[in-house]
Amino acid sequence: MAGYLVESTRKVTTHRLKEMKAEGKKIAMLTSYDYTTAKIVDAAGVDCILIGDSASNVMAGNATTLPITLDQMIYHASSVARAVQRAFVVCDMPFGTYQVDAKEGVRNAIRIMKETRCDALKLEGGEEILETVQRILDAGIPVFGHLGLTPQSINKFGTYAVRAKEEAEAAKLLRDVKLLAEAGCCGIVLEKIPAALTEQAVASVDIPIIGIGAGPADGQVLVIDDMLGKNKDFSPKFLRRYADLFTIMTDAIGQYVTDVKRGDFPNLQERY
Ligand code: KIV
């Protein structure tokens, strides 16, 4: 792992995540949805890999995260977990698998853990789902919270605009951060909220706060396809692109098409 700011090849655990916050060490989190990508992400030193329900958008082409099913998430998550040696692996519980009641939430949580070998689950929401979060934690399953812009509620919000700019929503978010931390969550993702509010959240709890479009926090998360520039249509202010894979891949594939069409591939060395 030379070249990357990685201190140890030891498996990242809930304990290590809390330690990293206490030591002021930033946590790098990134999504992955398949085995090959997860192997690369893990080798590059990412601390936490999220099988986000953003798979619904980036893998399946849906407009929202709502359609992805439990079986589809289990397929993505088990592929990722199989590839990872060091990173802490978190799987999103998809829409509809934990909102009905705590009993169903725990049953689905146990199924994901058994069938994927992930390290933790992520659920969207605060006080409204606290009983479910508590019951999943009581079953011995680590839980990440997710507050602010929670994409599973996009139809209620009606917009992907920044959340918690008003005082009442900001106060509720800070309350929810405390409730989730007191319940025993191992971390919380804050999405698309003002940086000043994130700063308050970070100072209020001893578990890591991971931001996306939320300013500086204990760590950051991005959707891998976005940060690698595979998708040219999504350019929010918070996104930093580290590559232009759209161009690199179309150039490479275009060259392959040309080579096949002019009979240049396969050449004499590329045949049996
Ligand atoms: O589904 C996802 O990828 C996420 C991240 C954007 C935090 O929840």
Using one digit for the tens of pLDDT, what is the confidence trace for 38-92? 999 999 999 999 999 999 999 999 999 999 999 999 999 999 999 999 999 999 9
Q: From residue 113, how far is each of 84, 95, 136 by CA, in Å?
A: 15, 17, 11
Measured in Å, residue 268 CA sits from the centre of ligand 1 at 47
Using a 10 angstrom Cβ sphere, with 0-12 exposed, 13-18 middle and 19 or more buried, the burial of residue 7 is: exposed
The one catalytic residue in 19, 167, 191, 270 is 191
List Cα–Cα distances, 164 to 169, 183, 198, 265, in angstroms.
5, 22, 10, 56
Classify strands 120-124 and 48-51 as parallel, antiparallel or unpaired: unpaired
Give the predicted TM-score (pTM) of the model: 0.96
- Amino acid letter, 51: I
* pLDDT over 70 (residue 230): yes
Cis check for the bond before 236: say yes or no (omega within 30 of 0).
Answer: no
Query: Percent of the chain at pLDDT above 90?
Result: 95
Ligand 1 and 223: CB distance under 6 A? yes
Nearest-atom index, ligand 1, CA of 210: 7
